[in-house]
């Protein structure tokens, strides 16, 4: 009976650590946005299980979710800037000119 109760707890621990790994990848450029979204998804699934069982790796899950949220907002903003720059057609400099003269 104790073995059956240990399985969900082990899954929560592994999921919390996976959330921490995904959040670290979420801070990287290019692959950051999907990894951050995966970390948020894992955090949500684990948080639902925490209502039934105690999670020893809860600080990892919380830290992972916070960093993943920051990574999601940051990389979404960068993606939005890139798409807006492409939509306006200002590819060669745009509003952010490198030199002082226009």
Rounded to 10 degrees, the C-alpha dihedral 64/70/75/78 comes to -170
Percent of the chain residues topping a pLDDT of 90: 0
The domain segmentation of the chain, as residue ranges, is 2-88
pLDDT in tens, 10-54: 888 788 888 778 777 877 777 788 888 888 888 888 888 888 878
**Considering only CA atoms, which of 24, 59, 57 is closest in space to residue 39?**
24
Label residue 4 by pLDDT band (50, 70, 90).
low
42 neighbors 68 (Cβ within 8 angstroms):
no
What's the predicted TM-score (pTM) here? 0.67
Task: Please list, residue by residue across 87-102, b when 16 or more beta carbons sit within 10 angstroms of its beta carbon and e when fewer do.
Answer: eeeeeeeeeeeeeeee
Asked whether the predicted pLDDT for residue 97 surpasses 60, the reply is no
């Amino acid at each position: 009976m104790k073995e059956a109760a240990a399985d969900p707890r082990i899954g929560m621990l592994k999921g919390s650590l996976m959330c921490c790994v995904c959040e670290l990848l979420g801070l990287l450029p290019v692959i950051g946005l999907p990894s951050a979204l995966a970390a948020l998804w894992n955090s949500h699934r684990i948080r639902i299980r925490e209502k039934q069982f105690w999670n020893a790796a809860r600080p990892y899950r919380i830290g992972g979710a916070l960093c993943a949220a920051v990574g999601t907002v940051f990389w979404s903003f960068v993606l939005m800037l890139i798409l807006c720059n492409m939509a306006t057609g200002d590819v060669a400099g745009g509003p952010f000119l490198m030199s002082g003269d226009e």
